[in-house]
Amino acid sequence: MKIWISLFLFVLTASVSAQGRNFDDVEYVTTDLGHGIFMLEGSGGNIGVSIGEDGVFLIDDQFAQLSEKLLAVITELSDQPLRFVINTHWHGDHVGGNANMAKEGAIIMAHDNVRARMSAPGRRQSPEDALPVMTFSDTNTYHLNGHKIHAFHVHRAHTDGDAIIHFEDVNIIHAGDILFNGTYPFIDLNSGGSVDGYIAALERLLAIADEETVIIAGHGPLASKKDVQASLKMIRSAKSKVAALVKEGKTLEQVQAADPLAALHAEWAWSFITGERFTEILYTDLSD
């Protein structure tokens, strides 16, 4: 339980702790995906950018403290105005720059549950000018910069408000935190996420991808269909191992002591989602 509480507190205080961080040394890395679409890596969730005659369309905007740097990069990419931002979910490393982007004239968009969670009373309540002003319940389609962009909701996956953004005509996808490329994912059970929903979301991602699809992961390097398949295989295996011990009536402490995911840690564990933490996420969800 101690580790699970620490996970909850990490998410709860993400925007608060960012206030004390030093972002001075963060430099954006820009990857040109073609067709006027770019991936930006800074600090936090990976950003997608579409540029063209209709203006700049941004997918996520990281932390507020990085907005000046982010806007400088956008200015280098295009002389058109920033018109739209779509959030893939509500976590602070993806929506922290919303208010600053809105001040630049951007319309903020997201799933219904993103606005609901950002506006809920409590420690992490967002200011009014950071909230999405256009929301959708299931799907939305945008025709911008010559592209057909399909945004669709995946239910109870990383959170309860995740959206995958698909540039259908050019075979490019921004998966948000449905994909942590090459690492254990964070499944935020306290924000409506679930293990089965996360697996279903990866399956849906695979259903629209082919061998040529370029995928911007929420975290990690640029991905392909093979990377999604590897992540899905790992999570299914991890779930099966933990579920077997849950079925035996083992406690969390007993499951962690048994370390059922030991063979996976070397490849998938990282500083935030260690093997012990991922085991707890799986146990907590599967034992409910």
pLDDT per residue as tens digits for the range 172-218: 999 999 999 999 999 999 999 999 999 999 999 999 999 999 999 99
Q: How confident is the model at residue 91 (pLDDT cuts 50, 70, 90)?
A: very high
pLDDT per residue as tens digits for the range 48-71: 999 999 999 999 999 999 999 999
Average pLDDT value for the chain: 94
HEC secondary structure over the chain: CHHHHHHHHHHHCHHHHHCCCCCCCCCCEEEEEECCEEEEECCCCCEEEECCCCCEEEECCCCHHHHHHHHHHHHHHCCCCEEEEECCCCCHHHHCCHHHHHHCCCEEEEEHHHHHHHHCCCCCCCCHHHCCCEEECCEEEEEECCEEEEEEEECCCCCCCEEEEEECCCCEEEEEEEEECCCCCCCCHHHCCCHHHHHHHHHHHHHHCCCCCEEEEEECCCECHHHHHHHHHHHHHHHHHHHHHHHCCCCHHHHHHHCCCHHHHHHHCCCCCCHHHHHHHHHHHHCC
- 228 in Cβ contact with 176 (< 8 Å): no
pLDDT per residue as tens digits for the range 242-272: 999 999 999 999 999 999 999 999 999 999 9
Give the mean pLDDT of 95-103.
Answer: 98
Q: Two tokens at 107?
A: 């319309």
Q: How far apart are CA 157 and CA 144, in angstroms?
A: 27
Q: How far apart are CA 203 and CA 217, in angstroms?
A: 15
Q: How confident is the model at residue 5 (pLDDT cuts 50, 70, 90)?
A: very low
pLDDT per residue as tens digits for the range 7-51: 443 444 344 446 567 899 999 999 999 999 999 999 999 999 999
Q: Considering only CA atoms, which of 215, 142, 149 is closest in space to residue 176?
A: 215
- 117 in Cβ contact with 131 (< 8 Å): no
pLDDT at 138 over 80: yes
pLDDT of residue 152: 98
pLDDT at 126 over 80: yes
CA angle in degrees (0–180, nearest 5) for 64-127-132? 85
Q: Considering only CA atoms, which of 65, 163, 149, 67 is closest in space to residue 114?
A: 163
pTM: 0.93
